[in-house]
Structure 1
Amino acid sequence: MPNFQTSDGISLYYEDEGDGLPILCLSGLTRNSRDFDYVAPHLAGARLIRMDYRGRGLSDHADPATYAVPVEARDAVELLDHLGVDRVGVLGTSRGGMIAMVMGATVPDRLRGVALNDVGPEIETGGLSAIMGYLGKNPPFATFDEAAKARLDLPQFPGVPLERWRKDVTHTATETPEGLKINYDPRLRDAVAAVMEAPSPDLWPLFDTLADLPVAVIRGMNSDLLSAGAVERMCQRHPGMIVAEVPNRGHIPFLDEPESLAALRSWMEAMA
């Protein structure tokens, strides 16, 4: 398996596939490289670079104090250095979008553009509460099949077929004789809880560092994390931003929806 070692000695898993426009794919908080399995077949002409954050997926666990957006942004830059890639477009899902904005503030010369999947500089508290409801806990299911069937009842995702949920539940858990187990460090919950107890930082200055770059935002119309009002304010500060509203999706769109793909293709054309 391809791994590289960070400056503080953590072994991180990554994938590097395809040729053409380099796109760094950064996943959600508890998720990993598999987040982009659905969209990858549709992004012909791109070099997709994926990374499992420290403590997630196939990467090493680390000191939970380092499960932080600035550290994960540093890890992403070190991966680019490891691969000898100077500039990339960043496709950031949720947590990955926050990392992309930090990169815009700290290493703007490394960015060609940023696509934000259901995240922005304003985060709805309801969405954060929902995340804390499951973060660091093993799913209450005995099997993948049981977990997939339960997701059929999610009101934010009407009409998603069972086979999609059956695949999705395998991304962040493993099946064991004792039931499903999360495949990330449960201490991630402590790191996130500590951040939530602190005063909320103003993320708008981070978003504003992307002003001169091609930017896209993809929002699930049923999202409880990114509001339509926040997207409107993002457009006011970044005229010309590419926007996709994806029906029948909450947090997060899968990225292979027609609306998502149209936005991503326009974004890639703008970076070419």
Structure 2
Amino acid sequence: MLTVAVDGIPLHYRDVGQGLPVLLLHAFSLDGSSFDLQVAALSGRYRFIVPDLRGFGQSPLGEGPLEMRRLALDALALLDALNIDSAVVGGVSMGGYASLALLREDPGRVRGLVLADTQCNADDAAGRDKREATAQQALKEGSASVIHGLVPLLLHAGPESPVGREATRLGLSTTPQAIAAAQRGMASRLDSKDLLARFAGPTLVVVGEHDVLTPVAKAKQMADLVRGARLEIIPGAGHLANQERPEAFNTVLDTFLASLA
């Protein structure tokens, strides 16, 4: 098992393939294995660096709220440990928030940006209140009480689909403490509209056609902020487009990465 220690926390990661480095950051309640279908299809041409973010998969949580800046600093420390000066940085949902935090922290490390089923807006007061309620629910009632309500929102195919069952399995393996820390960390994230408007690098924005959490309109908003950004809508997919429609997702990702390599 590959790990890198950051502030004494051993963070698990996968390092697969060769070529252009691509750092992928996963969605809330999942882990790095959620990118297995991208790694399997494309690692012959690109080098994928895929961590389990703090509190998820095989990476311990550590202390305090899981702020997006903390996740970004973890990812930068991983790139440092691997002697990677710059990489394409991408993320799904919460991983997109962390990718934007990394861009804010050290834009020189971002060779290209992939934002999938995510958004650039900060939570409003109602959104922050909802996340705090979810954090409290997890701590009081356990992970299952949150995950069973979340998974139906993630997938167009529904929770009983193979991808839905896997998302449920990963979510149920996440501790209530990690769920609460991540919800509070996402609630405190910064608005990134100005950040994207200043970014001049290659950008791919991807969204599932049926994403109800960060719908197509939010993807269009991000793409409109970055000059030359590509917007790709994945037919038949929900919020986890890379898992639900991997062939379509891999095609647009491969096209984007090939333009940089």
Give me the TM-score of the superposition, normalised by structure 1.
0.79
From 171, 176, 179, the counterpart of 1:188 = 179
Per-residue displacement from partner, 1:182-209 (whole Å, max 9, x unpaired)? 334524315524763x6x7432122234
Which residue pairs with 1:30 in the alignment? Answer: 29
Which residue pairs with 1:235 in the alignment? Answer: 223
| C-alpha contact 1:124 1:226 (8 A) present in aligned 2 | no
Q: Is 1:82–2:73 an aligned residue pair?
A: no
AA aligned to 1:249 is: A
From 204, 229, 234, the counterpart of 1:216 = 204
Deviation larger for 200-209 or 261-270: 200-209
1:1-272 correspondence runs (5 A):
1-6=1-6, 8-43=7-42, 44-65=44-65, 67-122=66-121, 136=138, 137-139=142-144, 157-158=156-157, 162-173=161-172, 182-184=173-175, 186-190=177-181, 192-193=183-184, 196=187, 201-209=190-198, 211-255=199-243, 256-272=245-261
Aligned CA-pair RMSD: 3.2
AA aligned to 2:30 is: R
| C-alpha contact 1:246 1:259 (8 A) present in aligned 2 | yes
| C-alpha contact 1:245 1:259 (8 A) present in aligned 2 | no
Matched pairs, number: 251
Identical residues among aligned pairs (%): 24
Quick one: structure 1 residues 117 and 191, their matched pair in 2 at CA, closer, same or farther if it must change by over 3 Å?
A: closer
Deviation larger for 260-269 or 12-21: 260-269
SS in 2 for 1:113: strand
| C-alpha contact 2:117 2:207 (8 A) present in aligned 1 | yes
Deviation larger for 239-248 or 27-36: 239-248
Quick one: structure 1 residues 270 and 35, their matched pair in 2 at CA, closer, same or farther if it must change by over 3 Å?
A: same
Q: Which runs of 5+ in 2 are unaligned?
A: none
Superposition deviation, residue 26 in structure 1: 0.5
| C-alpha contact 1:246 1:257 (8 A) present in aligned 2 | no
CA distance in 1, matches of 2:29, 2:180: 10
Superposition deviation, residue 74 in structure 1: 0.4
Superposition deviation, residue 17 in structure 1: 1.0
Superposition deviation, residue 58 in structure 1: 0.6
Quick one: structure 1 residues 201 and 69, their matched pair in 2 at CA, closer, same or farther if it must change by over 3 Å?
A: closer
Quick one: structure 1 residues 80 and 21, their matched pair in 2 at CA, closer, same or farther if it must change by over 3 Å?
A: same
Quick one: structure 1 residues 132 and 114, their matched pair in 2 at CA, closer, same or farther if it must change by over 3 Å?
A: farther
Per-residue displacement from partner, 1:12-61 (whole Å, max 9, x unpaired)? 11111111111111011222111101222221301111111122111122
Q: Which has the larger radius of gyration?
A: 1
Q: Which runs of 5+ in 1 are unaligned?
A: 141-146, 174-181
SS in 2 for 1:170: helix
Q: Would you tell me which structure has more helix in proportion to its own residues? A: 2
Which residue pairs with 1:177 in the alignment? Answer: none
